[in-house]
């Protein structure tokens, strides 16, 4: 009888051990989806071996994640897009070799990096802050590879124009800041916003699950099936920051920043790779030819069945292309040294 009770207790304990996490997951999914999203990012950072750190400089704090140490290959600094964060790059980092030194930073005012009311969030202002970050963590002890997507691509391109000696090569992914010949769906939204004196909702700043779904449709050619609770969680995570996002949006689409990358293309001497989704509805793919015509030797990789969210839609292909480019540039430099 005692043995039978022990078996029953064992099953009860085992059942409780399994049931409690399941109940916690269901409660988070239904009641606190935003918590579940944060746990998801934390889990994937740990799984991929990324550590989160802070760098302080003159009262300003940068939040970033990193993996690996500087080695034979150049370090890689990744700059995310508007209203995103350092974890945007997790999907790409997953497919990059673990020995590479990778740094993903929260852009000025985003996620864990300091946000102030007096900060300059123009493209040039963000470039200065990113340079401060690079100097603080001594990333520029030797030239590194710079990657930027969307707004981050605009910042990366201007950074290369300002600080050419710090960068050995660069990848721009669907960068904004270019006068592209063809209009997109987002360009039409911008025109409507300007005509309304910015009283209409900004498509990149959703306030409801429905608007969040519309933003995914705008940014992605691939149609992701996202549960309503997760959409709500994403809205909940972003909602407290929407006023800040509006401020940044007005800055980067102002006359001073809107075409900042194009205005600095002639100053870029860094070996350059451009990756673009052919079905981009935010920044038209024709921008790739504009960059290629202005920067001699620019490599252009256009992706089929892919929109603006390249790192989410084609992470494996993106990682492979970046790595191929870094290695090809390193080999080219080695050949040049040998011949000289």
Provide the annotated active-site residues.
Answer: 150, 280, 308
Alpha helices in 2-100 (DSSP H): 2-31, 33-47, 90-93
Please tell me the distance from the alpha carbon of residue 180 to that of residue 323, in angstroms, as a whole number. Answer: 27
Cβ-contact 96, 323 below 8 angstroms: yes
Which of 12, 155, 181 lies closest to 79, judged by CA?
155
Query: What is the widest separation between alpha-carbon atoms in the chain?
Result: 88
By the 10 Å C-beta count (0-12 exposed, 13-18 middle, 19+ buried), 305 is classed as exposed
Number of H helices, E strands in the chain: 13, 8
The three-class DSSP label of residue 177 is coil
By the 10 Å C-beta count (0-12 exposed, 13-18 middle, 19+ buried), 312 is classed as buried
């Amino acid at each position: 009888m005692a043995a039978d009770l022990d078996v029953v207790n064992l099953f009860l304990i085992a059942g409780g051990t399994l049931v409690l996490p399941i109940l916690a997951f269901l409660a988070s999914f239904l009641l606190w989806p935003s918590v579940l999203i944060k746990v998801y990012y934390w889990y994937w950072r740990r799984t991929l071996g990324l550590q989160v750190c802070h760098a302080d400089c003159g009262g300003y704090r940068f939040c970033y994640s990193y993996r690996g140490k500087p080695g034979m290959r150049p370090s890689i600094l990744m700059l995310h897009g508007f209203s995103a964060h350092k974890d945007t790059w997790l999907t790409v980092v997953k497919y990059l070799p673990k020995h590479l030194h990778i740094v993903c930073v929260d852009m000025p005012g985003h996620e864990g990096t300091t946000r102030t009311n007096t900060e300059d969030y123009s493209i040039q202002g963000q470039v200065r802050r990113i340079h401060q970050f690079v100097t603080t963590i001594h990333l520029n002890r030797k030239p590194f590879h710079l990657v930027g997507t969307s707004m981050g691509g605009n910042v990366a391109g201007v950074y290369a124009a300002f600080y050419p000696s710090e960068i050995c090569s660069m990848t721009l992914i669907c960068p904004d800041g270019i006068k592209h010949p063809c209009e997109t769906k987002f360009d039409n939204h911008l025109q409507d916003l300007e005509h309304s004196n910015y009283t209409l909702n900004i498509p990149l700043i959703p306030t409801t699950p429905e608007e969040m779904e519309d933003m995914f449709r705008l940014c992605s050619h691939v149609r992701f099936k996202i549960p309503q609770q997760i959409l709500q969680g994403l809205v909940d995570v972003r909602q407290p920051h929407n006023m800040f996002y509006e401020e940044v949006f007005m800055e980067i689409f102002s006359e001073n920043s809107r075409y900042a990358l194009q205005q600095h293309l002639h100053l870029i001497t860094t070996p350059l790779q451009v990756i673009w989704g052919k079905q981009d509805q935010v920044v038209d793919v024709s921008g790739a030819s504009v960059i290629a015509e202005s920067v001699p030797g620019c490599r252009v990789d256009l992706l089929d069945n892919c929109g603006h969210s390249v790192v989410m839609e084609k992470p494996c292909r993106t990682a492979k292309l970046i790595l191929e480019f870094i290695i090809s540039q390193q080999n080219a430099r080695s050949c040049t040294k040998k011949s000289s």
